[in-house]
Every structure is written in structure tokens, then in C-alpha cells.
Structure 1
Amino acid sequence: MKKSRKPVFLFLIISSFLFNCKNNKKTNLIDDPIVDVEEVVKEPTNVIDIITHSMEFQSVDTIPSGWNTFKYQNLSNETHFFLLDKYPEGKTVANTLTDVAPVFAEGMDLINQGKPEEGFAAFGKLPAWFGDIVFSGGSGLIAPKHTAVITVKLEPGYYIMECYVKMPNGKFHTLMGMAKPIIVTQEDSGNTPPESTVNIVVSNDAGIVYDKSITKGKHIFSVFYKEQKHHENFMQHDVNLVKLEDDASEDALEAWMDWSDPKGLITPVPHGITFLGGVNDMPAGSTGYFYADLKPGKYALISEVPNTKSKGLFRVFEVKD
């Protein structure tokens, strides 16, 4: 599996180098006729339950490798997600607390003070092993009192499950208790991936592209990361499904998805926005799946990077009655 460079306590893989990110050309979505969704998309019964009541993950400590389906119930009053970070051999959450957390706190404090250059420079103090973390998928952002169901394939190893949405004071949820170790064993689950109803491909040039018009009803979306790259805020692509009310601002949503803005990724979410899950960051060549039951209305698929519209990473669509 190809290594990803997206950081633990948020983007924290901030390498000491800066790079130029050019705007990618927009690619039109495939203009297929509407295809009726299957009358019944069977929800999985063999799931790993995750529950959040406040700022915690309640789940098992050990799971098998291979394909696994997670049912994440966000019973809190905050928007959350979970990301699975595969740690290099010999490193644990204890190393994060001693080697990463102090650097993280210094850098984020400077960014929140309006000193982004100093903040990014502080992240250059991150330990060398930090770059060996493999970000291996998880749920997209999920609104309070909502449930996300996702399926990913995991290699054996030591993982940390985390959420790095920000508190109103700018502190990340990881520092509030949302960082849980998970052991993925050598034993294979024996599970197979679900059959998708809509297929999404994410690439550097085309952004987010899906293969048919999206109808109302239950869906299983596959998300294939054809490519990955770092954007201006050091993040890589992910896919988040969003319900947009009539008075929701697309500009406000786009700005909120960029953590490098002190007001980005912070509670509360913009008005008229409801996050409905998705598939978190994964290495290039990986595929994840997420379930959704869509009612008529306006929706979007968006990544957690700056300038999503110009990069094809913000796709708005209408679900008709």
C-alpha cells in the first residue's frame, strides 16, 4: 500500500517543504441518462460499531484485517468523522503525545493568532517517523444525530482512530479525547466489498467524477482514489457528502473545508449545511464505500482542500422527486 502523507492531528504531516499547487482543469461529469436505483440496497449486518456521545469513540479495541464495514453513530451535538491512521511499527499513541502533540499545539496556536508562516515553520519540528503514517480511510464528516456507514480494506497493524474537527476555541477534537488505538490483526475478516450503485473516481486533474445521475433512495457509493497529491494546506483528497438547504452558501462551505483558515473546520458548520458521511483520505489506488439514503433536494460532494470548485473537487447535484 502506498504511503499517504496526511497528518494525524489534522494535517500534521506538514513537511518542511512548500510546493506550488496549480489549478486543475475542470472535467465535465459523464452525462448519462438517469438510472433507477435498486429498489432495495441491503444495509450490512456484519458491522463494527462506533459511537460518539461527546468527544470520544466507543468501539472495540481489536478488529480483523481485510474488508471491514463500520457503522458510526454520531449521537453528539457536534459534527465529527473518523479517520484510521496506520502507525509505523514500534510507534503508538504514547509517541504522539510526547513527540507530536507539543509541535501540533505550537503550530496551531500560531495559525490561530494569524501567523500562518510561523505556524507552518513550527510543523517542521515533527519527528521523522510521522511521515510514515498511512492514512487508511474512514467516514466523511457526519452531522449530529446522524449515522455513517463505510467499508474499507485494512492491512494488519497498529492504528489510531481520530477526529480533528475544531472546537469553537480552535482546538482539535483529537486533543479532547477523540484519538483511540485500534489493533488490526493478521486474521482476515473474510468479507468482500459491497456492490455499488454509483461509482466515484477522484484524480488530480479531473477532481471528483461520478458515472451516472444520482437518484433518490438508498445508494452505495464507491470511491476510487486514482491519484493523490498535497494541496496548498498540505491535505490530500477525501470525499464528503453534503445536503444543501435552499439558503446555504456554497462559498461558505468551500471556505469552511480549509483547515488552514482559522475559521475553517470549526464548530459550528455553516448555516444550511448537513454532512452525511463519505470516505476519508486513502492512498492512491485505494477504494472505499459509503452508504446514503437520499431524499429530493440539493447535495454536493466536496473535498477537504482549498479552492475546491476550481479543482473539480466540489460537485453540486440535484436529487429529483
Structure 2
Amino acid sequence: MDTLKNLSCITLISVMVWGCSPQDQDEYRVEIAAYDYAFQVPKELPSGWITFILNNEQAHEIHELSFARLPKDITYKEYLDEYVGAWEVLLEEFQADEVERSGISKRVNELLPDWADGVEYVNARGMVSPGRSAEKTVYLEPGLYAVDCWVKTEDGIIHISNGMTRPLTITNESANSPEPSVENIITLKEHEIDINWNAETGFHSFAVLMEADSLGNPVHNNVHLIKTGESTDLNEVNTWMDWYKVGGLRAPAPADFLGGVSTYDAIPGESASYFSVEIDGPGEYAWIVQVPEGEQLWNTFNIP
């Protein structure tokens, strides 16, 4: 069902929130407008399942929504100064060849504050190219969050550093919204993107499940839908999606990203991640999972 239809109660703040009446509230929806480089994010929202619409129609660069829950008693300013600041130093050193890829973990552990392990990344990526909008539905517990974009500028600066970050308080009040129920299921296996759906133009919603590796951890944590062209090199796209590459996640993107999801709290085979995309025309498309360089994990398809 097209969830953009039959919306009954609209409140306009810096975002749009649908679903004000408990008896007809099917989901709690928040639209976040992205700009180069800023978000329009409400100061607080209720807890529970919330569908975020990332509207990137006014931006000129690719953007994402990342949700990080901060440890108790840590302020948003401390998060920016001490946590994001550590990653900024690391990125600068790495891009200057002062730190090798193999030394990233050691160096960042030296830079990060002692409370860094308490930062909980709930959901990230779901990148959306300029001129597009996409959705993802996230369960947020009460607490203080940072809403960030970790994509980089053409010069290698994290969008956060240019102002694309906002604090968000999730209150104890419940959104009273149910977990999404969708028909299209994507199962990420070690060497396969298992999906059976009717590939056509229109609005499509997906639930993403991850299989477990030998240690019980998810084999992957991300999947994206892209529109490709004659010159699109999927190996190049996979390499670009690696944040830790010097040129990784730098604008401009090597493909047209329609949306997707990355998750860090999925329980393999049990919990699902949810996102929705709009396929607005015929062409060549691909589902792609970011994997180590030299590996490949994508499915291509055509919409006539």
C-alpha cells in the first residue's frame, strides 16, 4: 500500500508529522528536509516506531540520516567536540597518509573519549541522491540522539563538520505506532541478496533480514538501491561506499542512490530493518551491499 496516501492529520513544524488521532494513527511519520549542509529536525519526538522521510530534493549532494543514541549524562556538545572531533582528526591524518588503514582502530581508540563505547548507532546510511526522497522506519528508545550525515564533501570533509547534525530528544511518551508490516522481504546472506518482488515503477516498502555468520553476528549490515547508467561501474560503487577509503563517501556519488538502510542492532533471523523507495521511471537498477574491496554483492535488474 502506498503509505503516502490517506494521511489524515497534519501538523506543520520544521518537519511534517502525520498521525495525530490515536484511532486512525497507523504510523508516526516525520519529514526531514536536507540541505547543503543542514537538517530540519524537530527538537523532540515520542519513542517507538517512527518513519523518517529524508527529503533531499533541495540539496546538491547525496545525504543520509544516521541516528546515534548518546550515553547518559553526555551532552550533545561533548559528543560533537570529543567524539566527532576524534573522527575528524583521524580522517585528516588518514587522508594525509599519516595513518594506514591497518592502524585506524588503534589510532581512533587513542583519540576517542573513554565513554565512546556507550554511543549506540541505531541506524545509518540509507543514502539519497539529490532531487530524491526516501523513507526508513526506526525504533527509537527514550534518550538523547545525534542525527548526522557522515557523507563527505568533495574535499573530504564530513558533512557533520559543515553543520549537518542536530540533537534529537526521544521522550518517554509513546508514538503508539506499530512495527511495519510489508510484503517485500530482503534477506541478506553471505553471498546473496535474496529478494522476490515485483520490480516496477512506484512506491515500494521493504523489510531487511540478515543471516548470521559462524559467530552469530549479521553477515552484512547494509543494502541500497541504485539506478545505474552505461558508465556505472559497480565495483567502483562498492569501493566508494567504504567510508574508510580516502575517497569513500565523497561527493559526488558514482551512482544515483534511491535509498536503503544500514543497521547496527539487528538480531540475525529475528529483527528486521525497514525502508521505502520511489522508483520513478524505467531503466537499469541494482541492489548493492557494501562489502570488502575485491568482493561483489549486488543484483541488477531492468524496469522497461
Match of 1:60 among 36, 42, 47: 42
**Residue 41 of structure 1 pairs with residue 2 of structure 2:** yes
Distance in 2 between the 1:229 and 1:76 partners? 42
TM-score if structure 1 supplies the norm length?
0.77
* Identity fraction in percent: 26
Contact 1:41 1:218 in 2 (8 A): yes
CA RMSD after TM alignment: 2.5
**Distance in 2 (alpha carbons) for counterparts of 1:165 and 1:67:** 25
CA, structure 1 residues 102+66, in 2 after alignment: closer, same or farther (shift >3 Å)? closer
1:262 match: 246
1:245 corresponds to which of 219, 229, 244: 229
In 1, Cα distance between the equivalents of 2:83 and 2:120?
16
Query: Bigger relative contact order, structure 1 or 2, given CA contacts below 8 A and separation 6+?
Result: 1
CA offset at residue 306 of structure 1?
2.4
Distance change in 2, residues 1:308/1:96 (3 Å): farther
* Stretches of 4+ aligned residues off by more than 6 angstroms: none
Please say if residues 49 and 179 of structure 2, whose CA atoms lie closer than 8 Å, have aligned partners that are also in contact: yes
Once the 2 structures are TM-superposed, how far is the Cα of residue 133 of structure 1 from its aligned partner?
1.7
Question: 1:63: how far off?
Answer: 0.6
Letter paired with 2:257: F
Partner of 1:280: helix, strand, or coil? strand
* Aligned residue identity for 2:96: Q
Q: Residue 155 of structure 1: CA displacement? A: 1.1
Instruction: Give the structure 2 partner of residue 78 of structure 1.
Output: 61
Change in Cα spacing, 1:101 to 1:66, as seen in structure 2 (3 Å) is closer
Q: Cα gap change, 1:67/1:241 in structure 2, threshold over 3 Å: closer, same or farther? A: same
Task: Please report how far the alpha carbon of residue 110 of structure 1 lies from its aligned counterpart in structure 2 after TM superposition.
Answer: 1.7
Task: Note the C-alpha offset of 1:69.
Answer: 0.9
- Structure-to-structure mapping, 1:119-134, within 5 angstroms: 119-125=104-110, 126-134=112-120
1:296 offset after TM fit, Å? 2.8
- Structure 2: 5+ residue stretches without partners: 8-17, 19-28
User: CA separation in 1, counterparts of 2:294 and 2:139?
Assistant: 27
Deviation at 1:166?
A: 0.7
Taking the aligned partners of 1:305 and 1:192, their CA distance within structure 2 comes to 32
1:180 matched to which residue of 2?
Answer: 166
Aligned pair 1:287/2:287, yes or no? no
Q: Distance in 2 between matches of 1:103 and 1:139?
A: 20
| SS, match of residue 145 in structure 1 | coil
1:116-165: per-residue Cα shift (whole Å, max 9, x none)? 24554320221232112221125501001211111111111111100011
Counterpart Cα distance in 2 of 1:90 and 1:291: 34
CA 1:208–1:95: 2 relative to 1, 3 Å: farther
Counterpart mapping for 1:1-321 below 5 A: 41-43=2-4, 45=7, 46=18, 47-74=29-56, 75-114=58-97, 115-116=99-100, 117=102, 119-125=104-110, 126-138=112-124, 140-203=126-189, 205-206=190-191, 208-212=193-197, 214-227=199-212, 237-270=221-254, 273-285=255-267, 286-294=271-279, 295-307=281-293, 309-310=295-296, 314-321=297-304
Aligned length: 272
Q: Report if aligned partners of 1:220, 1:289 keep a CA contact under 8 Å in 2.
A: yes
Which amino acid in 1 is paired with 2:161? L
Residue in structure 1 matched with residue 10 of structure 2 by the alignment: none
1:57 CA drift (Å): 0.9
Partners of 2:266 and 2:273 within 8 A in 1: no
Q: Is there any run of 5+ residues in structure 1 with no aligned partner, and where?
A: 1-39
Structure 1 residues 292 and 98: alpha-carbon distance in aligned structure 2, compared to 1, 3 A threshold: closer
Q: Which has the higher strand share?
A: 2
Q: Which amino acid aligns with 1:41?
A: D
C-alpha change, 1:181 and 1:171, in structure 2 (3 Å) is same
Change (3 A) 1:217 1:97: closer
